[in-house]
Amino acid sequence: MRPASEIIPLLWKEIRLEWRQRHTFNSLLLYMVSTIWVVYLSFNLQLSQLSPITWNTLYWIILLFAAINSIGKSFIQEREGQMLYYYTLHSPVGLIFAKIIYNALLLLLLAFLGLFFYTILMGLPVQDVSLFGLNVALGCVGFATTLTMVAGIAAKTQNSSTLMAVLGFPVILPMLLMLLKVSKNALDGLDWSASSDELLTLTAINLIVISFSYFLFPYLWRS
């Protein structure tokens, strides 16, 4: 097995596919921006201000929904025959890792663009920006690893978009709670040592999920 030489062309394929279908990325971005806009108008924020806890929670919930929508399509947008073609050429490990890396990159882009708009409309009550940024990055990688596998499972069913949410939410919840806790610490500007436990646990969960994807995807891919 030559993982690197396999993952890179697959990753490149995903990126080019996305570039040729720019409308899907644009629609995701618009989805985020309009959600943020809805939140802004609904909370009537020209007159009032969000409390930091609400700010934090809303950002993560918006990001979670964007992630579920963007990753949910990662096994559906290509036709059945095309998938079969990749399966004859590549190993399952290369395929799932390329998808995970690609989804992580996509989410990172979405998260930081979203954060930009979110900041413009709702301010940035974050005291420790670097910790917050690191946390967002870890969160994107975590969402990507977990939800890519869930998307692979959901894609095998008839009503995959509903199942994506049903299967994904409970699995992602522990990670989300961790992320919320760390980003609350970043908002309050607490010392990094206060969040080290959570950061470690997040990394550990990520590693667990990646290794389980590595073992389980081969059983999923050709069925």
Query: Interface with another protein by CB under 8 A: which residues?
Result: 146, 149-150, 153, 156-159, 163, 166-167, 169-171, 173-175, 177-178, 181, 197-198, 201, 204-205, 208-209, 212-213, 216, 219-220, 223
* Closest CB to another protein among residues 16, 156: 156
Q: Tell me how far, at minimum, the Cβ of 106 lies from another protein, in Å.
A: 21
Which is nearer to another protein, 61 or 109 (by Cβ)?
61
Smaller CB separation from another protein, 83 or 153? 153
Toward another protein, which CB reaches closer, 120 or 207? 207
Alpha carbon distance 189, 121 (integer Å): 22
H helical segments located in 73-191: 80-89, 92-122, 129-154, 160-188
> Could you tell me if 146 and 172 are in contact, meaning their C-beta atoms sit under 8 angstroms apart?
yes
Q: How far is the CB of 158 from another protein (least distance, A)?
A: 6
Residue 17 CB contacts under 8 Å (≥ 6 apart), including other chains: 77, 78
Q: How far is the CB of 151 from another protein (least distance, A)?
A: 12
Shortest reach from residue 45's CB to another protein, in Å: 28
Rounded distance between C-alpha atoms, residue 121 and residue 110, angstroms: 17
State the greatest distance between any 2 C-alpha atoms of the chain, in Å, as a whole number: 60
